[in-house]
Structures are given as structure tokens and as C-alpha cells.
């Protein structure tokens, strides 16, 4: 069994019976949708047509939402249906970021992820999904794609112009469109306007300024039309495939999607990066010298406090925070969210024990044995490194946001971890001395990684991107978020700390740490927010 959908857009009349039946059958709350019909108006009066696109979960053969779910709340059945279990969902919203089709939403009543599940409760008793039953034009087919005699298999094999959305994502979508309109199927073909036919836009589109983001790839806009001061998506002249269409294009109706990752993500990137980096520095000092319980007690205290803040931010960001321990109780090991939970747990326990021993020695009790100190210091390297950098791999697993799919991100986060840890260690030397020569060495290492991080930041912003959505997000970060990126991330977060560190003063290092953390937060806020503003549907 391998269930899938086929939608004949040429037969669809835009009656919304499918979306209404879906809401009724599955008790979908107001404001969110499992199935919706996008309406696009094309042409110039009086030669105007409307094109419809029924949108929902694609029940992919290779579903990225399943891989990223840390507790197997999102899973794939043996018959190919991608199902979800709201009773174990923790509300991390990772599946929403992983879906390239905007098919998943957070239920406002249960605060868990929800989506089209192929009306699995009907399929299991031999009935068709509700949307198939109510469609008056028989424009929606559902069935077993592995059965060559099924109606959907015959339609896929015999009808012309059968396509899927975003095949380049490698997800293997099983929602097929017959005669699908390129203008309707590709989100970047039209900009969302300030209003639809019968509704206002509640959430901002991809641009928060008057100048729209020029798309790349096969779809481009007339510069004169974009500079005319018209609302986005109203009266734009469209050129598809390099040839001017010579027609007006406007989105008449579409579902609105919220942005789900906010300031908590940039904040915890800063706190865990500083904690992981400081553990690297303290571990190196303990391995290279006889060690100092004083600097370990002071620096370690900051690390412990930062990890407590990190844990609080992560739990606060969950829609169902009371279920947080399910990540540890039933982890889905392909998910970087689950891996991250265990990395943070292992790091917190290991470093916490080491810090407690060194603190006891600092307070006059017996110091830990050399072997024990070496063991803890050695463990601090892989755990501190993983703590500071794992988010790069988590971003890469969020396949719905193409801008995050960059190998530079891991390098950038490694550099951030090192310079934040270096600054925190140097600042700690205000209260306890570092081993001989270590302040000088850490200072040079910190300045070097600050300079390299500036190069990595510019590379992320100016390296050409392969996909349209990634290029549009990159453009938005460079223009709409230029203050956060250039004044914040580059100036406050890198240039100023570099100058302050060069003075060699522990107090200057403390100021540099504050500046670096604030600048990194500003940059990461743009990095996290801008790609979510680019529509996937």
C-alpha cells in the first residue's frame, strides 16, 4: 500500500467544499487549515481567469517532518500515510520548519502539531477521505499508488502534464497535480498583497518594507511595476521562464501561516555557545597545566548559569513544556532536536560534576585527583564543541527553509563558540587568575576567531544560493535586516569585541563579551526570522 492524492486543477471550480469537509470531519479549529484552496487571478480585463490550487500535506515518501520530530509524534505508516500523535507532541515546531509545503500548523486548542492525515480513520475502515467524497467535480482522487488498477494509478500514468510541487527537495511528494498552473504552484510567482478578495492579511508577507524582494530563478518582476508604489501582489507584471507574460497577476485567496521560531532561538544560541566555548577553554587549561581551581570555580559558575538559562529558554519555547522530558524518555535518534537534548544533558551533568569538585577545592576541600581532572577536561572538549555547534545541523534538518541549508553555518557556529568562550574565560580572570601565559594565548585565539567569524558572516550573506527561496531570504537579510546584521552582528558583535580584546584588560573582555552576545543575538534574530517570512505555499 502506498497512498497518495491526485488533483485535477482543470476540473477544480474553487468551491472550497474540500476544505470545508476537512474542517468538519477532523474538527479543525478556526484560523488554521489542513486543506485550503489558493486562488490566483490572471489577465487583464476583460480577459481574466481564475486558477485554483488545492493545497495540503503531500504525504511524502521521504518526509523531513518525520526525521526532525524528536519524540516520533510525526511518523509514517506502512501504507505511506504521514500521521501524527498529538498525545506525545511536545510542540517544538521542528516539523513545521522541516516541511517545504507549509502543510503543518500548531493547533490553537491542543498546542500540538496537526495536518492532513489522509483521513486515516476513514481509510482504515475502507472509506475515502472526506475531501474526495464531497468534491462535486471529482477533481480529487485518493488511493493506492502501488496498485496499477487503482483509479489514481491509471490517472498518474495516462494524464498529461502531471506534476508535483518542489520535486527538487527530494521529499518524494505524493500529491500530484494535473495541469497545475506554474503561477499558482510556485509561491514566489506572486507576492502576497495587503488584502485578498474578501479578507485582510493578518501576518506580514516576506517583505516588511515598501520595496519587495526581487525573486531569482525562473520568476522575475518588472522593475517599473515594483517601483510604482502599488501594494505587493497587486498589478505586478509577471515574467515566467524569461518571457514577459504581459498579464496582471493577483492572489485572490490563500491560507495565512504564522511564524513559529522567534527570539528564544537566537537567545539560546548565544547562551549555549558561550557555555560550550568556555568549557573548551577551561578544559584546555586543565589539560595543559596543573590546573587552577580558582578560574574553574569562577568560569564554571558562569557556564552552569548559562546552561540553566539555555534550558529555560528551550522549555519556554515549547508549546507543551510539561512534556519536555519525553525527549529523553522516547527520543527519535534521527532528529537533531532529540540529539541536542541528550548533548545538553550530558554536557550539563559532566561539567556540573567537574565544577562542583573544583569549587570544593577552591573552598578549601581536597582538590580532585589529577586523573579525574584530566578525564573531566577531556570530556569537556567533545561535549562543549557539540553544545556550541549542533544547532547548525538542526537548521540543516529544517528543510522547509532553504537558506539554512548551508555548510558555512557549522563553521560559523564553531567560530562563535570559540570566541564567546574565550571572552567569557578572559572576563572570568577578573576574579581568579588564569594559568601563566593563558590570558595572552586565549586573547590571540579570540581575536583570530572574531576576525574569521566576520568572514564567515559575509560568506553566508553573499555566497550565491541555489534555490529561489534561499536567495530571497538572503536578500531580505541583507536589506530589510541590514541594521541587525551589519550594525549589530558585524559592528557590535565582532568589530567592537575585537578592539576591546586587543587591550588585554579583563574588564574590557567583559565589555567585549556583552557586546559580542548582543551582536550575535541581533544577527541570529535576522537569520532565524527572515527565512520564515518567505512563503512555502
pLDDT > 50? residue 235: no
Examine the domain organization and report whether 194 and 120 are in the same domain.
no
Where is average pLDDT lowest: 48-52, 127-131, 237-241, 528-532?
A: 237-241
- Compute how many other C-beta atoms are within 10 angstroms of the C-beta atom of residue 42: 19
Strand partners, 53: 38
d(CA 336, CA 340): 6
Where is average pLDDT lowest: 94-103, 284-293, 451-460?
A: 284-293
474: its cell numbers: 538572503
Examine the domain organization and report whether 209 and 139 are in the same domain.
no
Q: Label residue 200 by pLDDT band (50, 70, 90).
A: low
Q: Label residue 435 by pLDDT band (50, 70, 90).
A: confident
The answer to the question of residue 484 being in a domain is yes
Angle ∠(415,416,421) on CA atoms, nearest 5: 100
Domain extent for 29: 3-185
pLDDT per residue as tens digits for the range 45-96:
888 888 888 999 999 999 999 999 999 999 999 999 999 999 999 999 999 9
CATH code, 164: 3.30.70.20
Examine the domain organization and report whether 203 and 126 are in the same domain.
no
312: its cell numbers: 529555560
φ/ψ of 220, rounded to 5, equals -140, 160
d(CA 22, CA 45): 34
pLDDT > 70? residue 198: no
Which residues touch 460 (CB under 8 Å, ≥6 apart)?
A: 406, 408, 409, 412, 527
pLDDT > 90? residue 242: no
d(CA 180, CA 21): 23
The answer to the question of residue 130 being in a domain is yes
d(CA 158, CA 161): 10
Residue by residue, what is the 3-state secondary structure of 62-84? CCHHHHHCCCCCEEECCCCCEEE
**Is the preceding peptide bond at 260 cis, omega within 30 degrees of 0?**
no
Percent of the chain with pLDDT over 90: 64
481: its cell numbers: 535586516
d(CA 211, CA 203): 17
Question: What was the pLDDT predicted at 295?
Answer: 85
pLDDT, mean of residues 460-471: 88
Examine the domain organization and report whether 193 and 272 are in the same domain.
no
Q: Label residue 184 by pLDDT band (50, 70, 90).
A: confident
Which residues touch 5 (CB under 8 Å, ≥6 apart)?
A: 56, 59, 140, 141, 142, 152, 174, 175, 176
Examine the domain organization and report whether 431 and 525 are in the same domain.
yes
Examine the domain organization and report whether 310 and 377 are in the same domain.
yes
Q: Label residue 16 by pLDDT band (50, 70, 90).
A: very high
Determine contact, residues 380/351, Cβ cutoff 8 Å.
yes
Determine contact, residues 391/366, Cβ cutoff 8 Å.
no
Question: What was the pLDDT predicted at 360?
Answer: 86
185: its cell numbers: 504552484
Q: What is the β-pairing status of strands 3-8 and 175-178? A: parallel
Question: What was the pLDDT predicted at 236?
Answer: 31
Q: Which of 131, 155, 185 is the last residue of a domain?
A: 185
Q: Which of 253, 277, 296 is the last residue of a domain?
A: 253
- Say how many domains are in the chain: 3
Q: Which of 164, 185, 206 is the last residue of a domain?
A: 185
Determine contact, residues 420/273, Cβ cutoff 8 Å.
yes
183: its cell numbers: 503561477
Determine contact, residues 295/285, Cβ cutoff 8 Å.
yes
Strand partners, 41: 50, 250
Examine the domain organization and report whether 382 and 286 are in the same domain.
yes
The answer to the question of residue 537 being in a domain is no
φ/ψ of 26, rounded to 5, equals -110, 10
**Higher model confidence: residue 389 or residue 42?**
389
Examine the domain organization and report whether 383 and 405 are in the same domain.
yes
Q: Label residue 291 by pLDDT band (50, 70, 90).
A: low
The answer to the question of residue 274 being in a domain is yes
Please identify which residue in the block is written with the cell numbers 586587543. 502
Determine contact, residues 223/240, Cβ cutoff 8 Å.
no
d(CA 66, CA 35): 20
The answer to the question of residue 177 being in a domain is yes
Examine the domain organization and report whether 138 and 181 are in the same domain.
yes
pLDDT, mean of residues 267-286: 93
Q: Label residue 229 by pLDDT band (50, 70, 90).
A: very low
- Compute how many other C-beta atoms are within 10 angstroms of the C-beta atom of residue 131: 26
**Higher model confidence: residue 202 or residue 282?**
282
**Higher model confidence: residue 204 or residue 442?**
442
pLDDT > 80? residue 370: no
Examine the domain organization and report whether 191 and 179 are in the same domain.
no
Which residue, 177, 175, 211, is CA-closest to 191?
211
CATH code, 518: 1.20.1630.10
The answer to the question of residue 258 being in a domain is no
Examine the domain organization and report whether 227 and 104 are in the same domain.
no
Question: What was the pLDDT predicted at 191?
Answer: 66
Examine the domain organization and report whether 233 and 320 are in the same domain.
no
Determine contact, residues 38/253, Cβ cutoff 8 Å.
yes
Q: Label residue 219 by pLDDT band (50, 70, 90).
A: very low
Question: What was the pLDDT predicted at 297?
Answer: 87
Question: What was the pLDDT predicted at 227?
Answer: 25
d(CA 296, CA 111): 42
DSSP letter for 499, please. H
Which residue, 422, 531, 443, 400, is CA-closest to 105?
400
d(CA 271, CA 177): 46
pLDDT per residue as tens digits for the range 110-167:
999 999 999 999 999 999 999 999 999 999 999 999 999 999 999 999 988 899 999 9
184: its cell numbers: 499558482
Average pLDDT value for the chain: 86
Per-residue CA distances from 189 to 13, 186, 332, 420 (Å):
21, 6, 37, 42
Percent of the chain with pLDDT over 70: 88
φ/ψ of 43, rounded to 5, equals 120, 180
pLDDT > 50? residue 439: yes
The answer to the question of residue 259 being in a domain is no
pLDDT, mean of residues 404-424: 94
Which residue, 286, 275, 19, is CA-closest to 130?
19
Determine contact, residues 353/265, Cβ cutoff 8 Å.
no
Q: Label residue 195 by pLDDT band (50, 70, 90).
A: low
385: its cell numbers: 564543541
The answer to the question of residue 226 being in a domain is yes
Determine contact, residues 376/350, Cβ cutoff 8 Å.
yes
Amino acid at each position: 500500500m502506498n497512498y497518495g492524492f491526485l488533483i485535477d486543477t482543470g476540473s477544480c471550480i474553487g468551491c472550497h467544499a474540500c476544505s470545508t469537509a476537512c474542517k468538519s470531519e477532523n474538527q479543525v479549529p478556526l484560523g488554521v487549515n489542513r486543506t485550503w484552496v489558493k486562488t490566483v487571478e490572471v489577465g487583464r480585463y476583460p480577459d481574466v481567469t481564475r486558477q485554483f490550487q488545492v493545497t495540503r500535506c503531500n504525504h511524502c515518501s521521504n518526509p523531513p517532518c518525520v526525521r526532525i520530530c524528536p519524540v516520533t509524534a510525526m511518523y509514517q505508516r506502512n501504507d505511506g500515510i504521514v500521521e501524527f500523535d498529538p498525545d506525545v507532541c511536545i510542540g517544538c515546531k521542528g516539523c513545521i520548519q522541516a516541511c517545504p509545503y507549509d502543510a503543518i500548523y500548531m493547533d490553537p486548542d491542543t498546542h500540538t502539531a496537526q495536518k492532513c492525515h489522509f483521513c486515516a480513520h476513514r481509510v482504515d475502515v475502507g472509506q475515502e477521505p472526506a475531501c474526495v467524497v464531497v468534491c462535486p467535480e471529482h477533481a480529487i482522487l485518493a488511493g493506492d499508488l502501488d496498485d496499477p488498477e487503482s483509479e489514481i494509478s491509471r490517472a498518474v500514468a495516462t494524464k498529461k502534464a502531471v506534476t508535483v510541487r518542489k520535486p527538487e527537495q527530494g521529499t518524494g511528494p505524493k500529491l500530484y497535480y494535473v495541469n497545475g498552473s506554474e503561477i499558482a504552484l510556485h509561491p514566489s510567482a506572486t507576492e502576497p498583497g495587503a488584502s485578498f478578495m474578501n479578507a485582510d492579511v493578518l501576518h506580514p508577507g516576506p517583505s516588511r518594507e515598501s520595496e519587495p524582494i526581487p525573486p531569482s530563478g525562473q520568476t522575475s518582476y518588472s522593475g517599473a511595476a515594483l517601483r510604482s508604489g502599488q501594494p505587493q501582489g497587486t498589478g505586478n507584471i509577471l515574467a515566467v521562464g524569461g518571457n514577459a507574460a504581459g498579464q496582471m497577476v493577483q492572489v485572490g485567496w490563500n491560507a495565512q501561516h504564522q511564524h513559529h521560531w522567534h527570539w528564544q532561538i537566537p537567545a539560546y544560541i548565544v547562551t549555549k555557545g558561550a557555555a560550550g566555548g568556555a568549557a573548551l577553554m577551561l578544559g584546555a587549561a586543565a589539560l595543559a597545566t596543573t590546573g587552577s581551581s580558582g578560574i574553574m570555580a569562577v568560569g564554571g559558575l558562569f557556564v552552569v548559569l548559562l546552561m540553566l538559562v539555555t534550558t529555560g529558554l528551550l522549555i519556554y519555547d515549547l508549546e507543551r513544556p510539561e512534556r519536555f522530558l519525553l525527549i529523553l524518555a522516547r527520543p527519535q535518534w534521527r532528529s537533531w532536536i532529540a540529539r541536542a537534548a541528550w548533548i545538553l544533558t550530558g554536557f550539563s551533568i559532566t561539567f556540573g560534576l567537574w565544577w562542583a569538585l573544583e569549587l570544593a577545592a577552591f573552598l578549601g576541600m581536597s582538590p580532585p585527583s589529577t586523573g579525574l581532572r584530566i578525564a573531566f577536561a577531556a570530556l569537556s572538549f567533545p561535549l562543549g564543541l557539540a553544545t556550541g555547534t549542533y544547532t547548525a545541523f538542526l537548521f540543516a534538518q529544517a528543510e522547509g527553509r532553504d537558506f539554512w541549508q548551508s555548510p558555512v553555518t557549522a563553521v560559523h557556529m564553531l567560530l562563535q563558540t570559540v570566541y564567546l568562550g574565550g571572552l567569557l574565560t578572559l572576563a572570568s580572570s577578573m576574579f581568579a587568575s588564569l594559568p601563566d601565559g593563558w590570558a595572552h594565548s586565549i586573547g590571540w585565539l579570540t581575536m583570530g576567531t572574531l576576525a574569521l567569524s566576520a568572514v564567515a558572516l559575509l560568506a553566508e550573506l553573499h555566497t550565491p544560493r541555489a534555490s529561489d527561496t534561499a536567495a530571497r531570504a538572503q536578500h531580505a537579510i541583507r536589506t530589510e535586516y541590514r541594521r541587525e546584521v551589519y550594525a549589530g552582528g558585524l559592528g557590535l558583535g565582532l568589530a567592537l569585541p575585537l578592539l576591546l580584546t586587543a587591550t588585554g584588560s579583563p574588564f574590557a573582555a567583559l565589555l567585549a563579551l556583552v557586546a559580542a552576545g548582543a551582536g550575535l543575538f541581533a544577527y541570529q534574530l535576522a537569520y532565524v526570522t527572515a527565512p520564515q517570512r518567505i512563503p512555502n505555499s
